């Protein structure tokens, strides 16, 4: 599974419960995926197997082979709760939700690396025609290699329409310049806090977010921009598997 180490199960449950309590401050309703023997531990990172649009869900085709059953499991559940399916990424196409960043209601950026490829983006463009007006491909670096969990959202987390937490050292120059041209102010994560997932920030309301504890510089920089920051310990739940608070959630409805 390429985890850093074996997570402690009791600690994972405790950390998850703390995370959910923070979410409850702003989120009224939660859906929990049912148990499925075909999925593995990575299924806790519910961001990746689907993309949600206003017209329905796109089921991804996972770049990590151990996760390839997850979109099928989620489809069954979405059918049960009445979420329409726009379609699926299939064949040679690969797409993971962690590579998709909404820049506004109609524009998304999509990372291209080992989890998402150009064919996946082509299929996504076809499936979301009339829903998403523009898809901006963002080529990503090799970084730590094919087995590493590295998505576009590993280097950018929007916290408001004009504010994002970023790690610019791994960001392609054209994409960074594009963000600046859109008037998006960037809060830079220091080198010392990138590996501890300082860039993985979940916005639960404009300028209100949840972060993993242990990144004091990033937290202070967020607060300097008027962002309310809620923290939880994610040593086992997040750090072991490389998935932070954004990865643990798949928002299916947002208030405008």
CA dist 214 and 230 (Å) reads 12
Residue 23 lies in a domain: yes
Q: How many domains does the chain have?
A: 2
Same domain, 19 and 51: no
Same domain, 211 and 150: no
Same domain, 190 and 168: yes
List per-residue pLDDT tens for the chain, 256 residues long.
Answer: 888 899 999 999 999 999 999 999 999 899 999 999 999 999 999 999 999 999 999 999 999 999 999 999 999 999 999 999 999 999 999 999 999 999 999 999 999 999 999 999 999 999 999 999 999 999 999 998 888 889 999 999 999 999 999 999 999 999 999 999 999 999 999 999 999 999 999 999 999 999 999 999 999 999 999 999 999 999 999 999 999 999 999 998 876 5
Beta bridge partners of 109: 101, 136
Q: Which domain holds residue 198?
A: 1-30+158-172+182-241
Distance linking the first and last C-alpha atoms of the chain = 37
CA dist 101 and 157 (Å) reads 8
Tens of pLDDT, residue by residue over 179-216, are: 999 999 999 999 999 999 999 999 999 999 999 999 99
pLDDT value of residue 1: 80
CA dist 37 and 102 (Å) reads 32
Same domain, 123 and 224: no
**DSSP state string for 105-162:** SSEEEEEESSS--HHHHHHHHHHTTTT-SEEEEEE---TT-TTS---GGGTEEEEETT
| Coil vs helix vs strand at 41 | helix
In whole angstroms, how far apart are CA 1 and each of 10, 15, 130?
A: 20, 21, 37
Helix/strand/coil percentages in the chain, nearest 5: 30, 20, 45
Phi, psi of 239 (to 5 degrees): -60, -35
Residue 247 lies in a domain: no
pLDDT value of residue 149: 84
Same domain, 118 and 163: no
Same domain, 141 and 196: no
pLDDT value of residue 2: 84
pLDDT value of residue 148: 86
Contact between 156 and 199 under an 8 Å Cβ cutoff? The reply is: yes
User: What is the value of pTM for the model shown?
Assistant: 0.94
Same domain, 13 and 69: no
**DSSP state string for 153-194:** GGTEEEEETTEEEE-GGGS-HHHHHHHHHTT-EEEEPPHHHH
| Coil vs helix vs strand at 232 | strand
Residue 91 lies in a domain: yes
Phi, psi of 235 (to 5 degrees): -60, -40
């Amino acid at each position: 599974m390429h985890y850093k180490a074996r997570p402690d199960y009791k600690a994972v449950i405790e950390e998850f419960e703390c995370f959910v309590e923070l979410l409850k401050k702003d989120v009224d309703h939660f859906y929990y995926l049912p148990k499925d023997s075909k999925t593995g531990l990575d299924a806790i990172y519910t961001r990746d197997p689907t993309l949600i649009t206003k017209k329905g869900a796109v089921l991804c085709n996972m770049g990590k082979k151990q996760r390839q059953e997850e979109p099928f499991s989620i489809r069954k559940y979405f059918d049960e709760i009445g979420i329409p399916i726009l379609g699926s990424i299939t064949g040679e196409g690969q797409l993971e939700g962690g590579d998709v960043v909404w820049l506004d209601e109609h524009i998304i950026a999509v990372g291209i690396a080992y989890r998402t490829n150009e064919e996946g983006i082509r299929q996504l463009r076809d499936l979301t025609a009339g829903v998403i007006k523009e898809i901006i491909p963002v080529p990503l670096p090799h970084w730590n290699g094919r087995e590493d969990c590295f998505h576009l959202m590993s280097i950018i987390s929007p916290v408001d329409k004009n504010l994002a937490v970023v790690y610019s050292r791994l960001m392609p120059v054209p994409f960074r310049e594009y963000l600046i041209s859109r008037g998006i102010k960037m809060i830079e994560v220091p080198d010392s806090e990138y590996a501890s997932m300082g860039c993985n920030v979940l916005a639960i309301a404009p300028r209100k977010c949840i972060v993993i504890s242990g990144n004091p510089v990033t937290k202070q920089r967020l607060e300097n921009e008027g962002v309310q920051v809620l923290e939880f310990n994610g040593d086992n739940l997040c750090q072991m598997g490389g998935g932070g608070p954004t990865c643990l959630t798949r928002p299916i409805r947002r208030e405008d």
